[in-house]
Structure 1
Amino acid sequence: MTAFIGLRVCTDDLAQIDALAAKHGCSRAEAARNVLRLGLPLAQKGHSIDLQRMILLIEHMQASIDVIIHREHADAAEQLVTIAQERMAQFHA
C-alpha cells in the first residue's frame, strides 16, 4: 500500500535530490524516497551522521590496517587490494 505525501523543500535540497536522481537514473520522487528510507531509521533512533568524522575514522582505520599489512604481511598487500576492488564491484556498484 502506498500513500501520497506532499512537502516543500528548499531549492538547495531540491537540486541535490535532482542530482541524485540524475546520477542513479531514477525519478525525483524515487530519489527522495531512497533518501527517506536511508535517513528515517537513523532519525528514529536519534542518530545523525557526521560525514566528516565518519570519513576521518574510515581513513584512520584504513591507514592503520595498511601499516599492519605492509609490516606483517607485505606479500599479501596487493592481493588484498584486488579482493577489496572485487567486493566493491560486487556489493557497492
Structure 2
Amino acid sequence: MVILKKIRAASLIETLTASVLIIIVFMIASLSFNNIFTNHIKRDKSAIENRIKELEYLIIHNKLKIPYTEDFDSWEIEIITKNNLNIIIYNNDDTSHEKQLIINE
C-alpha cells in the first residue's frame, strides 16, 4: 500500500504576495518597452532622409531651381549655392543638419 505524503499548501497571503510581485515586474517591463519604442519613433528620420535624397537627385539632374526652400513635416529644408557647392540645410526645432553636394559637370 502506498502512503501518500502530505504536501504543504501555500497560504492565501503567500499566493497574493507572489502575484503582486509578478504583476509589478510585468508593469515595469511594459513601461520600459513602451519608453524604448516611443523614443525610437521620435528619432526616426527616414522620411526626411528620403526627401533629401530626392532633392539631391533633382539637383544633380537640373530639375530644381536654386535657391530652394521647403517645409517638410516639421523640417525646414533650404538649398543654397556657395563657392560652386550646393549646400542642403535642414532643421527642425531641436537639430540642424548641413550637407554639401558636389556636382561634377
Do they fold alike, i.e. is TM over 0.5? no
TM-score by length of 2: 0.25
Question: Per chain length, whose mean CA-contact separation is higher, i.e. which structure has more relative contact order (CA < 8 Å, sep 6+)?
Answer: 2
The structure richer in strand per residue is: 2
TM-score by length of 1: 0.28
The structure richer in helix per residue is: 1
